[in-house]
Structure 1
Amino acid sequence: MTPIGLVAGEPSGDLIASRLLQGVQERIPDLVVQGIGGPALEQSGMQIWHPMAALSVFGYVDALRSLPRLIRIYNDVAKRWKLTPPALFLGVDAPDFNLRLEEKLRAQGVPTVHFVGPSIWAWRYERIHQIRRAVSHMLVLFPFEVEIYEKEGIPVTYVGHPLADAIPTEPDRAGVRESLGIDADTPVVAILPGSRSSEIRLLSPVFLQAAARFAQKEPGTCFLVPMVNQVRRQEFEAFLARYPVPNLRIIQASGIQSREQWPVSWQAMAACDVALVASGTATLETALFKRPMVISYILSGMMRRIMAFKSGQTGPSVPWVGLPNVLSREFVVPELLQEQATPDNLFRELDSLWRDESRKAHIRSQFEDLHQILRRNTAQKAGQAVVELLTCQN
C-alpha cells in the first residue's frame, strides 16, 4: 500500500487533482489517497476525511468567523498523519492552510508537493521563506514562476494551466451562439462582474452604466451576463433595475449542464465580441477564448486597508493586475482599477476595442500564443512529477 495525503480547497483543485491521480494510479496500483477533497476526488476513490467545502471561506471576515472550524480540521488531519505518515503529501492551492500543514509534515520527514503556487510575484514575496521550509517540490501554472523558485533554491516543475487544456484552441463560437439563440451577426458584449457579493455590489453599477452607453451608440447589441447562482442573480438584478440596459440577458448556472458541460461564463465568453471582466481567473478564461476585454476591479476602502496591512503593500509588485497582461508582460488589454473604473472610462475603452480591428487582431494573436504556452497537459505532467517523487522514496 502506498498512502498519499491530499488537501484540495477549491472546486477547480478538486477536479484537476482527480485527473492527476488517475495517472498516478495507473503507475502505482496500490495507491491509497486520504484527506480533504470534493466530489471529483471522492469519485476517483479518495477517502474523504473532511469535505472540501469545510475549507471554503469568502473574504477576511468569513475567514475570521471560520477560524475555529479550520483549526479543528487542521489539528485533526495533522494528528492522523503524525500517527500514520503518508508516503507523500500533495497540497492543491489553499496556501494558508496547506503551507502550514506541509511545513509540519516535511519536518516529520514526509515529502511535500504543492500544486499552484501562491501569487508571491504580486503580493507578499516574503512567503518564499515559508515555502522553502514547507515544500519539497513546487508545481507551478505559469512559466515565469520557474525562475522565481529556481533562484530561491526550491525544486520546481512547470506543468501548464489546466484551463488551457479544458478550453479548445478554436472554440465553436457559431455553435454556442446558436445554442443561445443569438444570430451570427449580432454584436455581443459579455459582462462578467464576478461571483462574490462584494464584486457584484461594487462593479455592477459601473459595468451597467458603461453598457447602457455602449447600447446607445451600438443599438441592437446583445449583452450576456453569466450568474453563478440565484443569490448572485438577485443581487445583480437589483442593480439592473436602477441601471437598465436594453437587450441584456442573464444566463444562470443550473443543475442541467449545457453545451459540452461548459460553465455559463464560458458560453458568454465564447459568444461575445468583447467583454467587461472583473479581474481574476475570468480574465485568463476570456483570453483563452481569444476575446478582447476591458479588465476592471474595485475594492472597498476597508478591504484595501486589510490587504495593505496583511501584505505590507499598497499595490502589487508588478505593473499589471489582469493575468493576460501579467503573462504577456505588457498591457495587451486595458485595466481600469479603483478610481479609474468609471462608467465613462469603461465605455471609452470598450468602444475603442470594438472599433479597432487591427488592435483586436493583435490581441487575438497574443492570446493564441498564450494558449499554446499554457497548454501542457497539466494533469499528466503533474502526475508524472508525483510518481517520480514517490519512486524516489521507494
Structure 2
Amino acid sequence: MPNHTPRVAMVAGETSGDLLAGLLLDGLQDLWPGLPSGGIGGAQMAQRGFDAWWPSEKLAVHGYSFELLRRLAEIILIRKRLRARLLQSKPDVFIGVDAPDFNLGLEMDLRAAGVKTVHFVCPSIWAWRAERIEKIRRAADHVLCIFPFEPELLAGHGIAATYVGHPLAGVIPLEPDRTAARARLGLAEGEPVLAILPGSRSAEVQYIAPGFFQAAALIRRALPAIKMIVPAVPALHERLKRMAHDCGLGDALTIVVGQSHTVLAACDVTLIASGTATLEAALFKRPMVISYRMHPWSWRLMRRKQLQPWVGLPNILCGDFVVPELLQDAATPQALSAAVLDWFAARQHQPERISALHQRFAALHHSLRRNTPQLAADAIRKVLTA
C-alpha cells in the first residue's frame, strides 16, 4: 500500500463509462478515503467527489468516420489541454475508462512521461479492430477486463491484465423484481410492456429512433393493449417526445427521464440499440431485438473491421444468435416490428423458448458477477506499488 493517498486522474466517456468509473471510484475510496480525483467524467463520478474538468458528454460520438470528423477539432483540443495539465501536475495513476480512441493515445504519452496507466475495459479486439493490440501494449501498464476470456488473450501479447467481472452484473439483481418496477412506473401487472431504448447519444437518436418509433406504431396496431416506455437522458427527452408524437404513438408510449434499469425490469420485451444497454437487458433476462443504424460511410468502414458474426453483446458472449439482430438496411420498421411481435407471441405460445433464453442469460450473469470495485481497486493498488 502506498504510504500516501494517491492522486488519480480519470477519463470516462459517455453514460456507460461514467457508471463504470463511478463503481471503480467506490473501490478506490474504500482503500483511500478522501482520494482526490479529476479529469473528464459524468454525474455518477461527480456523486463520488470527482472533479470533472470537462463533462463526459464531450467525448460522445456516433459512428466511425463521418460523425467523428465533425467533432474532431473539439476533441483534439480537449485532449491537448488535458495532456498538458496532467504532464504539468502528474497524477500517481491515470485510469482511462473505455473511450479507447481518446484514452489510448493519452495513456501512451503519460506512460512515456513516467505516469502509471490503467485502462478499464479491454477494447473489443476480439470483435473488431484487432490492430489495436499493439497500441494497448504501449499505452497501459495494466488492463482491467470485464469479460473472463480477455486476460489470457492479452497475456499472449505481453499485456498485464486482471479480470474484475462486469460491474453491471453486481448492480443488477439475479432475479429482477418486475412487479415492483411496474408499480414504480404506474404499469399494471398483466399488460404487455415494450421497452424502447434507441440509444443515449444525439446521433443515435437521429439514425435509430425514427425507425424504432415507426416500428412501435406497427406493433401498436397488432397489439392495441400494449404499453411502451422509453428511458431517455435529460438532454434528449423533448426530442424523443416530438419524434414519438410525429409517429402517432399518443398515450400508448411514455418517455421517462433516466430509469433505464427500472424500465428493463418492468418490460416483457425490449427493442434496443446495440451497445452496453443490450448487456443490461440480458442481465435483466429480457427477450430483445437488437438493432443499429449509422451513417452509411461509418457502416461500411465498421463492417470491414468486424471479426465476428455478431454485433450485440449478448450474442457475442453466448457465441450464438440467441436474440435477433437487425442492422442498418435490415432495420426496417416492418422487420423490427415483426421481430418484436415474435417475442410477444412466444410469451403466449412458446414459454419454453422464453425459459431457455432466461437460463442462457442467468448463466451469463453468474459468469460476470464479481466484486468489481474491490478487484479493480486491488489491481490498481498493485500497479502503484510495483
TM range (shorter): 0.7 to 0.9
Matches within 5 A, 1:123-272: 123-229=128-234, 231-238=236-243, 240-241=245-246, 243-245=247-249, 248-253=252-257, 263-272=258-267
CA distance 1:180–1:84, shift in 2 (3 Å): closer
Alpha-carbon offset, residue 290 of structure 1: 0.8
Instruction: Select the residue among 283, 293, 303 that pairs with 2:278.
Output: 283
Equivalent position of 2:316 in the other structure: 326
Instruction: Select the residue among 36, 40, 46 that pairs with 2:40.
Output: 36
Whichever residue aligns with residue 276 of structure 2, its letter is: T
Q: Distance in 1 between matches of 2:51 and 2:208?
A: 40
Q: Distance in 1 between matches of 2:153 and 2:307?
A: 14
Q: Distance in 2 between matches of 1:69 and 1:201?
A: 21
Secondary structure of the residue that 1:70 maps to in structure 2? helix
Q: Distance in 2 between matches of 1:276 and 1:144?
A: 28
Deviation per CA, 1:98-127, whole angstroms, max 9, x where unpaired?
A: 211211122223321111122222221101
Q: Distance in 1 between matches of 2:232 and 2:49?
A: 32
Deviation per CA, 1:227-259, whole angstroms, max 9, x where unpaired?
A: 323645434533542x33475222221xxxxxx
Q: Distance in 1 between matches of 2:275 and 2:262?
A: 18
Q: Distance in 2 between matches of 1:128 and 1:19?
A: 26
Equivalent position of 2:24 in the other structure: 20
Equivalent position of 1:257 in the other structure: none
Instruction: Select the residue among 81, 84, 97 that pairs with 1:79.
Output: 84
Equivalent position of 2:59 in the other structure: 56
Equivalent position of 2:125 in the other structure: 120
CA distance 1:39–1:264, shift in 2 (3 Å): closer
Whichever residue aligns with residue 294 of structure 2, its letter is: L
Whichever residue aligns with residue 280 of structure 1, its letter is: G
1:197 and 1:232 in contact (8 A); partners too:
no
Deviation per CA, 1:48-71, whole angstroms, max 9, x where unpaired?
A: 5x2234743433566445444434
1:196 and 1:232 in contact (8 A); partners too:
no
Equivalent position of 1:10 in the other structure: 14
Moved more, 359-368 or 276-285: 276-285
**Tell me, which stretches of 5 or more residues in structure 1 are unaligned?**
254-262
Deviation per CA, 1:280-323, whole angstroms, max 9, x where unpaired?
A: 12211111111101111222323324xx1xx6x53521110111
Equivalent position of 2:298 in the other structure: 303
Secondary structure of the residue that 2:231 maps to in structure 1? strand
Whichever residue aligns with residue 249 of structure 1, its letter is: L
Alpha-carbon offset, residue 154 of structure 1: 0.7
Instruction: Select the residue among 343, 355, 360 that pairs with 1:353.
Output: 343
CA distance 1:368–1:230, shift in 2 (3 Å): same
1:221 and 1:247 in contact (8 A); partners too:
no
CA distance 1:170–1:318, shift in 2 (3 Å): same
Equivalent position of 2:372 in the other structure: 378
1:99 and 1:130 in contact (8 A); partners too:
yes
TM-score computed with the length of structure 2 as normaliser: 0.87
Equivalent position of 1:91 in the other structure: 96
1:220 and 1:247 in contact (8 A); partners too:
no
Whichever residue aligns with residue 104 of structure 2, its letter is: L
CA distance 1:25–1:318, shift in 2 (3 Å): same
CA distance 1:346–1:23, shift in 2 (3 Å): closer
Q: Distance in 1 between matches of 2:51 and 2:332?
A: 49
Q: Distance in 1 between matches of 2:290 and 2:11?
A: 32
TM-score computed with the length of structure 1 as normaliser: 0.85
Whichever residue aligns with residue 284 of structure 2, its letter is: F
> What is the Cα-based RMSD across aligned positions, in Å?
2.7
Whichever residue aligns with residue 119 of structure 2, its letter is: H
Whichever residue aligns with residue 110 of structure 1, its letter is: V
Moved more, 15-24 or 87-96: 15-24
Q: Distance in 2 between matches of 1:275 and 1:43?
A: 29
Higher relative contact order (CA 8 A, sep 6+): 2
Q: Distance in 2 between matches of 1:347 and 1:204?
A: 13
Q: Distance in 2 between matches of 1:167 and 1:220?
A: 29
Alpha-carbon offset, residue 367 of structure 1: 0.9
Q: Does 2:334 correspond to 1:344?
A: yes
Moved more, 101-110 or 63-72: 63-72
Secondary structure of the residue that 2:9 maps to in structure 1? strand
Task: Determine what percentage of the aligned residue pairs are the same residue.
Answer: 46
1:120 and 1:128 in contact (8 A); partners too:
yes
Instruction: Select the residue among 357, 360, 363 that pairs with 1:369.
Output: 363
Deviation per CA, 1:343-387, whole angstroms, max 9, x where unpaired?
A: 332233222222231111111111111111112121111111011
Deviation per CA, 1:186-238, whole angstroms, max 9, x where unpaired?
A: 11122222233443343344333433343333331222222323645434533
CA distance 1:72–1:244, shift in 2 (3 Å): closer
CA distance 1:110–1:269, shift in 2 (3 Å): same
Whichever residue aligns with residue 376 of structure 1, its letter is: R
Secondary structure of the residue that 1:125 maps to in structure 2? coil
Q: Distance in 1 between matches of 2:378 and 2:105?
A: 25
